[in-house]
Structure 1
Amino acid sequence: MSVLETFQLAIKNILSSKMRTFLTMLGIIIGVCAVIVIVGLGNGMQGYIEDSFADMGTDSLTVMIMGRGSSRSVSEEDMYELVEENSEYLKQISPTVTMMGSVKIGSDTLTATSITGISEDYFSMKGYEVVQGRGLQYMDMTDRKKVCVVGQYLNMAYFGGNAVGQTLKINGNTFTIVGVMAQEGSELEEGGTDDCVFVPYSTAARLSYTGTISSYAITVQNTDQISEAKAVVEQKLYQVFSDDDAYTVTSMAELVEEMNSMVNMIIYILAGIAAISLVVGGIGIMNIMLVSVTERTREIGIRKALGAKESAIMRQFVIEAATTSSLGGVLGILLGYGLSALATSVIANVMPDTPITVSPSLLAVVVAFGVSTGIGVVFGYLPAKKAANLNPIDALRYD
């Protein structure tokens, strides 16, 4: 009997008892489906993390300087010089000063609005766009002018879309609005991305009563060389402070990689737990194949009496087990894609601000199908061996 004929016979035997076959495949179906959905969820989370950090700039470094007392410090001029001297790695720099306090517009006091001191290059570094008026300029820094650029939320909610030329107060100091940012967030809301005010960093430092600038944002020339760029900055700061604890240099790209590694670890653990059901399914296949061998003992005896070899008998039952398992794998894959699409829809409705797409990978599908088929072969071997070893005389006498 050829392999094709053996396969056709296996299909015939499977279809002869559909419900029993389905229940046998159920463990395989659940296991494959679970693995595909979990891996798809992991891919979606990775994509969401990368998109989220892309807005912050994966080509940037964040430098925080704690210092070691008044005798050792780094000024903003030193940091600008560092970028100029290492232009093959570093591109732009902007001091950043986070101001604490509130914004007052007319009689309204806003406590959720973020207030940040930046340089004239910050907007180009972050990819922000000014749609009304102008951005901050170099002279605003040197002269410590009290001017600012506001987010679209403040522009629309408090100035009716005409904020340029108007004024607001930051901790009692009057600032003139010279520009309005383009909308960055999906919605204009209090405390959101567009509820912000940007002022010259020199003005922010003076009003915050900080002696020196302690935070910097630096962009790199090439994201492939971000590790080298980070090392250059760390080396310069270590030469000044001789202490690793005096500063921190954080790479957004490295942070994304670390978070992706953590997500992958969790996904692998969950997928491994889900794969246990594949083993359970394999045991179910082995159990039903042993029952099948018992039910077809007389058939096996007739075939062996007619000259069928042990290898042919074994091949028949192994192929039947593998076919059952493979069919369960295909159904599990189809169910996995269906549940992935459903999960994507549910996430979009429940968490509209968290666009996670559950997208199964081709590799996960191929591996899941291969494993399901392999389980059928492995767990079908013992019943097949039992069938092949039957004594034809005893088998013919079996009733």
Structure 2
Amino acid sequence: MRISQLFKIALYSVWSNKIRSFLTMLGIIIGISSVIILVGMGKGAEKEISDQISSLGTNLITVSLTKTATIDDGDLKELKSKPGIKAISPQVSSSNVNIKAGSKTSTTSIEASNESYAEVKSYTVSSGRFITSRDVKNRYNVLVIGTETANNIFGTTNVVGETMYVSGIQFKVVGVLKSAGTSTTGSSDDKIILPLSTAQRLLKSSSIKTYYIEAKSQAEVDTAMSYIKMFLNKKYGLNNLAISTTTDTYYRVLSQTSLLTTATSTTKSMSNMLSGVAAISLLVGGIGIMNIMLVSVIERTKEIGTRKAIGAKRRTILTQFLIEAAIVSGLGGLLGVLIGYLGAYVGKTFFATSIVISGNIVVAAFAFSVVVGLVFGIYPADKASKLNPIDALRYE
């Protein structure tokens, strides 16, 4: 019997039991759509984090102090004179700070630094100006505001010259940041930026544990990091300690490249974990196909016996049932792909979720669904092909 005839018989069998066939496909549909959406979310998170880190520039170095050290302006001036270092911005930050303008109140986060902060962190203002050295030196109560924060308490971004209260203290808005959008880590526009000295007085803390350092170029990042580490080792007295002492106990120095590598590795692990969870649905769907195909063999025992009695070979019966299993899993895979794309569209449009669908993942998921159908269809097909025609014709 020709393959085309076997396809027609298999399609007729699937179509004549539409509800059962659809329920059999359901596991495959859920598995495929889950793989596409979850892996897409992982890829989207990876892209967002990568773009966000890259947007800060490839020559940015982040220094995080695990143990507090006394680093004054003289130390920073000395460090800035080292080869490869262009600018240094100490940073103090705080989250969930109460702010008020008129009758409207809200909470936001504070970032505080010096006049180099805009250059180091690649911040730009859409109106007004940024923090200046004069603001820092004189502890002026001025701030630069994010667009989302401005809309929350003023209802507009045209707020340069307006006054607002931060933790009950009056400040003047001197600039509005250019919108940076929203990422997986939250909104980049919900913040205020204060002069470092003003924030230290406001927060009643002079401790600085984060420094952002801009290297003169990407090629000089490693040179700058070497001098930063030598400076910190001297500051903490680590040069005299045992070689086994880990500097992570005292400080960490990370470049954008290392941050990007770490973030990418983390998101890839998350994507693999999500795809593994989704793949379980495909296996469950495959078990469902095997179960229904076994039921189909029992229901069609007489049909199989009749066909074998008139000359149908074992190979023909085996092929027919394998084709049926492949059709069920293949149709389920196609529906799963469609639902996966639909789910991604809904997530991006209505929930502002970044989902990046990879064509390779879609093809691989669909191929896997067909393979699952064939693998779990082998046993029922083999059982059908081995039926004795006489016993099959006697079956009631």
> What's the TM-score bracket when you normalise by the shorter of the two chains?
0.7 to 0.9
Q: In structure 2, what is the Cα distance between the partners aligned to 1:290 and 1:144? A: 86
In 2, are the aligned partners of 1:76 and 1:95 still within 8 Å (CA)? no
In 2, are the aligned partners of 1:66 and 1:214 still within 8 Å (CA)? yes
Q: In structure 2, what is the Cα distance between the partners aligned to 1:224 and 1:364? A: 41
Aligned to 1:10: 6
Aligned to 1:98: 93
Aligned to 2:29: 33
In 2, are the aligned partners of 1:152 and 1:182 still within 8 Å (CA)? yes
1:114-149 Cα shifts (integer Å, max 9, x gaps): 332023343345443311122223454455544321
1:97 is paired with a residue whose SS is strand
Deviation larger for 14-23 or 26-35: 14-23
In 1, are the aligned partners of 2:304 and 2:392 still within 8 Å (CA)? no
1:86-125 alignment runs, 5 A limit: 87=84, 93-99=88-94, 102-105=98-101, 107-108=102-103, 110-125=105-120
Aligned residue type for 2:196: Y
In 2, are the aligned partners of 1:148 and 1:199 still within 8 Å (CA)? yes
Structure 2 residue 303 is matched with structure 1 residue 295: yes
Aligned to 2:242: none
1:56-106 Cα shifts (integer Å, max 9, x gaps): 5256665432426xxx5445765686687574xx8865322125754454x
Aligned residue type for 2:132: Q
In 2, are the aligned partners of 1:333 and 1:365 still within 8 Å (CA)? yes
1:225-304 alignment runs, 5 A limit: 237=232, 240-241=235-236, 242=238, 244-247=248-251, 252-253=259-260, 254-289=262-297, 292=300, 294-303=302-311
In 1, are the aligned partners of 2:325 and 2:374 still within 8 Å (CA)? yes
In 1, are the aligned partners of 2:28 and 2:281 still within 8 Å (CA)? no
2:311 is paired with a residue whose SS is helix
Aligned to 1:150: 145
Aligned to 1:43: 39
Aligned residue type for 2:177: M
Aligned to 1:129: 124
1:279 is paired with a residue whose SS is helix
In 2, are the aligned partners of 1:102 and 1:110 still within 8 Å (CA)? yes
Structure 1 unaligned blocks of 5 or more: 305-312
1:96 is paired with a residue whose SS is strand
Structure 2 unaligned blocks of 5 or more: 239-246
Count of residues in Structure 1 that have an aligned counterpart in Structure 2: 371
Structure 2 residue 205 is matched with structure 1 residue 197: no
Structure 2 residue 176 is matched with structure 1 residue 180: yes
In 2, are the aligned partners of 1:205 and 1:211 still within 8 Å (CA)? yes
Percent sequence identity is 23
Q: In structure 2, what is the Cα distance between the partners aligned to 1:183 and 1:99? A: 20
Q: In structure 2, what is the Cα distance between the partners aligned to 1:92 and 1:57? A: 18
Structure 2 residue 381 is matched with structure 1 residue 380: yes
In 2, are the aligned partners of 1:37 and 1:358 still within 8 Å (CA)? no
- What RMSD, in angstroms, separates the aligned Cα atoms of the two structures? 4.4
Q: In structure 2, what is the Cα distance between the partners aligned to 1:145 and 1:396? A: 94
Q: In structure 1, what is the Cα distance between the partners aligned to 2:150 and 2:252? A: 35
Aligned to 1:363: 364
In 2, are the aligned partners of 1:50 and 1:256 still within 8 Å (CA)? yes
**C-alpha deviation, 1:45, in angstroms:** 1.8
Q: In structure 2, what is the Cα distance between the partners aligned to 1:377 and 1:207? A: 72
| Distance change (3 Å), C-alpha of 1:266 and 1:152 | closer
In 1, are the aligned partners of 2:11 and 2:324 still within 8 Å (CA)? no
Aligned to 2:318: 318
| Distance change (3 Å), C-alpha of 1:375 and 1:238 | farther
Aligned residue type for 1:281: I
1:210 is paired with a residue whose SS is coil
In 1, are the aligned partners of 2:46 and 2:263 still within 8 Å (CA)? no
1:324 is paired with a residue whose SS is helix
Q: In structure 2, what is the Cα distance between the partners aligned to 1:64 and 1:36? A: 43
Q: In structure 2, what is the Cα distance between the partners aligned to 1:118 and 1:274? A: 52
Aligned residue type for 1:371: V
Q: In structure 2, what is the Cα distance between the partners aligned to 1:320 and 1:371? A: 17
Q: In structure 1, what is the Cα distance between the partners aligned to 2:132 and 2:294? A: 75
**C-alpha deviation, 1:255, in angstroms:** 3.6
Aligned to 1:352: 351
| Distance change (3 Å), C-alpha of 1:397 and 1:108 | closer
Q: In structure 2, what is the Cα distance between the partners aligned to 1:327 and 1:246? A: 61
| Distance change (3 Å), C-alpha of 1:373 and 1:222 | farther
**C-alpha deviation, 1:10, in angstroms:** 1.4
Q: In structure 1, what is the Cα distance between the partners aligned to 2:2 and 2:169? A: 88
Deviation larger for 112-121 or 154-163: 154-163
Q: In structure 1, what is the Cα distance between the partners aligned to 2:228 and 2:324? A: 60
In 1, are the aligned partners of 2:301 and 2:393 still within 8 Å (CA)? no
